[in-house]
Structure 1
């Protein structure tokens, strides 16, 4: 029996500027995702049909009735109480309401863990983390890279660390601070030499102790795929053993902020790339093998579409298919691991160019609001992907914009809760303020 959804008994049923120069996911990850096909069969049909519609304007989608702009309401009311979580939404409504949030910023509607990424190039993320601290259980500032310099391992990124902000976060709430560490070290230097394992682990734990972190979020799987590590059974086995050893070492150390807790390890994983698991995919066996040593898995269920395949950011049926492939059905042993999954949701969007050659650019909430103000578009809802989008033209060039909405996020939160999973948000500085009423 699936867990209960978020309590909505009190709500109607749902029917400083960022200055970011780097919206969306990291450039390395995004470029790889854009070039890698990821098509469950149903999602494949969706993307091609959406792309066809966007190019020739022939797909029929749900528009709903036009409504008058919503009158200003008290900011004390949540987005559910204001009736804003719906399919039929207008640009006027978003422009009027996106900055209004409930005065009860500490109340949580989503009961499971929430991991929020913060990037050093987007100061708005730091502000949001403080403002909505009670809704976020884990904060992961994107600060570190572990690199090879000859035969030496070097942890770069301490210059990004903001000690004052960490202190403010801990004064305002109980969120754990686990900076992200990207493993850039050459696999041949790290994985083939057990002494290097010890050095890498010592460097990471020393940094956690000196800076007072609660653990780390480790990203290495996509890098290892690029180096060809994962299709070599022996190298893959050593890679998994290294992660397990790191996790166990972190668990042996108490957090400086709370001696009753050990340091945590959350591991970043990509969703399957096709209906059949490939040699580079992180699958159920990998999940089971690492489960005892890992506190959570940050599943990157976004970046489904790309410049040459315009469409939704993260179709709901694709998210559901990815969870089934990783966890199996509700009767499988792996399904019990869903509580360790932080289901990825994007707070950025994409602006696709549909003529004069395909292209795209990631957009933040600030960009999205500017587009709504300038073009005053009709927002459309697609039932298959469960996402809103709109079409506009600029200098005779047609564009399609996909950006999260209250309805699209709410449905993904319900999906996560049905599985018993948590959330990971990339990244909180790129969203609209009223998104946090949903959490």
Structure 2
């Protein structure tokens, strides 16, 4: 696998929604190889990247053993295919089945919604029966001197929550990013207890069904997880939080409050986990206290190495590495990450990239009327175009086929999915859920 460097979840996620230039990484290939009108150079380099991946065999296994997807409205119209055209995308993307209560992916579905991309609020209401968990991105738990403060209540939209609950049974678990100074929090029992009290009090006051917590990547970035004693305290804190939430009942349905924990994919080049990686032993340690693990299987490529957002070979090998040998029974607690955003890469010298939403994507497709290309090695579509300055671009954005393949992957493990984030997708994506 391509080596990555850990960065905080908050930074990674805001890069996905603000359409900002990605943080530069060391170049993995000469950008000049992508310059010019001949796309064969681009295809060749992409192929080389994935030929060296040990996950190719896993991809072949997946193709043989996965069950077929139940028929959806998009399948019935013959739109879920490799040879999709730009005309079909422009014409069909807003057409969806009138029956939004029918689920085609019956495992858990966690959908994120962000305040800075408000379309997600309406989509959450419209397709509410498709989701089992909805996570509005509302909160940060921060240090303020020697105290802890939970920021974000001003984001909480109780009217929207009430509408959701009239339309479906999805549980509402707001995302909380743990921004508190890691060493101060973990080394102080008083601070750990206070953090848990703040979170449980907020759940009671607003009427949440639990929370989604992000902390692991932040701890990794601060070097906390390289210290064995602090790493142990980190796991103990997550366990304590989960157990404490389970001791409180939801005001809505009387069920224990839930904890979903966000984890990143391993960043190592091989199957040898690094100290900061969340691995199979961590999964087993937390499995009784955590109700689900939101696995961020996206952001694989970078502006210095344009390519797929989440090659399916890599997704498969990541899940396999995480659950460990004989640990497939724990896969049912994993929400396999699926991106509803894309990337527009400049593949000329100097590189550059911007994250794009469905609206951006449709604008590009309408303007350049490209030929859609499918690469089986990573199961994603892309297209290339030249802008007004004659700079060549490569655009990777989800399609019905790429999403369907990832749903098959999750289903084969008995896993759920988590979507970052629904406001960036196209309407007909929801037909597959």
- With normalisation by structure 1, the TM-score equals 0.85
Q: Distance in 1 between matches of 2:224 and 2:21?
A: 16
Q: Partner residue of 1:325? A: 321
Q: Distance in 2 between matches of 1:28 and 1:58?
A: 28
Q: CA deviation at 1:87?
A: 0.0
Q: Which runs of 5+ in 2 are unaligned?
A: 1-9, 45-71
Secondary structure of 1:434's counterpart equals helix
1:31-430 counterparts in 2 under 5 A? Answer: 57-58=39-40, 78-259=73-254, 261-274=255-268, 275=270, 276-329=272-325, 332=326, 334-394=327-387, 395-430=389-424
Q: CA deviation at 1:178?
A: 0.2
Q: Distance in 1 between matches of 2:82 and 2:240?
A: 47
Secondary structure of 1:292's counterpart equals coil
* Contact 2:383/2:394, CA 8 A, preserved across alignment: yes
Q: CA deviation at 1:279?
A: 1.1
* Cα shift readout 1:101-149 (whole Å, capped 9, x = no counterpart): 0111110000100000000011110000001000000000000000000
Secondary structure of 1:418's counterpart equals helix
* Contact 1:378/1:390, CA 8 A, preserved across alignment: yes
* Cα shift readout 1:317-359 (whole Å, capped 9, x = no counterpart): 0000101110124xx0x21100000000000000001114100
Q: Distance in 2 between matches of 1:368 and 1:137?
A: 28
Secondary structure of 1:298's counterpart equals strand
* Contact 1:61/1:381, CA 8 A, preserved across alignment: no
Distance 1:52 1:325, change over 3 A: farther
Equivalent pairs, count:
393
Q: CA deviation at 1:54?
A: 7.3
Q: CA deviation at 1:26?
A: 2.0
Distance 1:60 1:180, change over 3 A: closer
- With normalisation by structure 2, the TM-score equals 0.86
* Cα shift readout 1:33-86 (whole Å, capped 9, x = no counterpart): 96679xxxxxxxxx9699956776225969xxxxxxxxxxxxxx8101000000
Q: CA deviation at 1:32?
A: 12
Q: Distance in 2 between matches of 1:29 and 1:286?
A: 29
Distance 1:161 1:140, change over 3 A: same
Q: Which runs of 4+ in 1 moved over 3 A?
A: 27-37, 47-56, 59-62
* Contact 1:52/1:58, CA 8 A, preserved across alignment: no
